[in-house]
Amino acid sequence: MEQVSQCISIRPLDEGDLPEAGAILRLAFATQFGMPPDTFWMDRDFVTGRWVTDPSLAFGAWIEDRLVGSSLGTSWGSLGVFGPISTHPDTWNRGIARLLIPPVLERLNALGARHLAFFTIAESTKHIALYQRFGFWPRFLTAIMTRPVDPNETVGESVRYSAIADADQVNWLNACRVLTTEVRDGLDLTTEICSAHTHGHGDSVFLTDGSRVEAVALCEYGPKSPAGAGSCLIRFAAAHPGSDTERPFDRLLTACETLAADQGLKQIVACVNASRPKAYRHLLALGFRAQRNGVTMHRPNEDAYNQTAAFVLDDLR
Ligand SMILES: CC(C)(COP(=O)(O)OP(=O)(O)OC[C@H]1O[C@@H](n2cnc3c(N)ncnc32)[C@H](O)[C@@H]1OP(=O)(O)O)[C@@H](O)C(=O)NCCC(=O)NCCS
């Protein structure tokens, strides 16, 4: 490794650092994908939404007083999601990501994570090798899939978080936590559900069966989100693990589509892991098409969710 001659410091990202961190992220991914940097991902924000959800999970790297990279994470209770991480291309392969990764992982663990996971570029030997140094292991392929929104699809009986009265929100969040705990012990999306609503970069839909939540989806959209113009990104979706979960999953996707149509969005983006073939096949049957394949890396090397949780979609970018 070529050593960085100047002194690198790693410290928490302040709100004032976010525009520069976002610009470095766009430049880094444009360079990675061979895209024109001036126009790439100008319609989305991967940094601010993560930061507002929990600033203690956002770190920057500085060479002297120049910000050169950032890494963030999201706490889903017992599941910690690492990323995004990016460093300025003119500093690549000089050890900066290696310094940016540990503080996020340590913080996720301190917040209760017992399993860490993220999505990365399957064909990059650099990426896989970098993360293996930290005990991550590549598991299944994950397809980022899209489907045009059909404005005529409708669903009955779905509830949007944004439509729930303030006094009632806590009850819905508790019911949601009961569902996600069935998917994985201690899995908790409620902080991110609240943040997306408050910050204005998304909304969540709930399907109910009597008094219980049988399916939930957190959708992100708009310029403050990572979704991209015209897209509704399903950050997380799950139907209650059980014998007949295909129908609620199908209704959940329709509820996401209805939300997208109401927001004037043109396509749904959903990430599905090949370890969940029922969900994957269901998306294919609905006409979703893969735009990019990646791989999720896990620490420890095991599935993040219970074996019975067949209908889960998660965007771990
Ligand atoms: C991925 C990224 C964050 C890495 O940042 P970085 O500062 O270059 O990473 P580091 O220098 O700390 O570590 C890279 C390591 O990979 C090694 N490496 C480089 N090319 C390699 C290859 N082809 N095969 C194996 N290892 C490779 C480097 O030598 C270095 O290891 P070393 O420290 O033992 O020498 C940066 O390239 C980036 O921002 N890419 C675009 C955005 C992106 O892809 N983000 C991550 C999405 S999951």
**Does 9 have pLDDT greater than 90?**
yes
Burial (CB < 10 A; 0-12, 13-18, 19+), residue 263, is middle
136 Cα to the center of ligand 1, angstroms: 15
Q: H helices within 114-189, ranges in order?
A: 125-132, 166-183
**Does 2 have pLDDT greater than 70?**
no
Segment 230-245 mean pLDDT: 90
CA 24 to chain centre: 19
Cα atoms in the Cβ-side hemisphere of radius 13 Å centred on 117: 25
Residues forming a β-bridge with 268: 147, 232
Instruction: Determine the 3-state secondary structure of 167 from DSSP.
Output: helix
CA distance 280 to 191: 27
Between the CA of residue 271 and those of 31, 61, 146, what are the distances in Å? 23, 29, 9
**pLDDT (tens digit, 9 = 90+) per residue, 24-77?**
999 999 999 999 999 999 999 999 999 999 999 999 999 999 999 999 999 999
Q: How confident is the model at residue 306 (pLDDT cuts 50, 70, 90)?
A: very high
User: Amino acid identity, residue 155?
Assistant: V
Quick one: pLDDT at residue 1? 43
Query: With pLDDT > 70 as the criterion, what percentage of the chain qualifies?
Result: 97
Best probe residue, ligand 1, of 126, 297, 317 (max atoms within 8 Å of C-beta)? 126
**Does 23 have pLDDT greater than 80?**
yes
Best probe residue, ligand 1, of 6, 59, 87 (max atoms within 8 Å of C-beta)? 87
List domains and CATH numbers for the chain.
8-113 (3.40.630.30), 146-314 (3.40.630.30)
CA angle at residue 100 from 97 to 103, to 5 degrees? 150
CA distance 1 to 97: 12
Q: 315 near 119, Cβ under 8 Å?
A: yes
Is ligand 1 within 6 A of the CB of residue 125? yes
Q: Which residue lies with its CA nearest to atom 32 of ligand 1?
A: 1
User: Amino acid identity, residue 296?
Assistant: T
**Does 138 have pLDDT greater than 60?**
yes
pTM: 0.95
Between the CA of residue 186 and those of 4, 15, 63, 175, 182, what are the distances in Å? 40, 30, 38, 13, 9
Quick one: pLDDT at residue 244? 67
Q: H helices within 111-237, ranges in order?
A: 125-132, 166-183, 190-199
**Does 4 have pLDDT greater than 80?**
no
Query: With pLDDT > 90 as the criterion, what percentage of the chain qualifies?
Result: 93
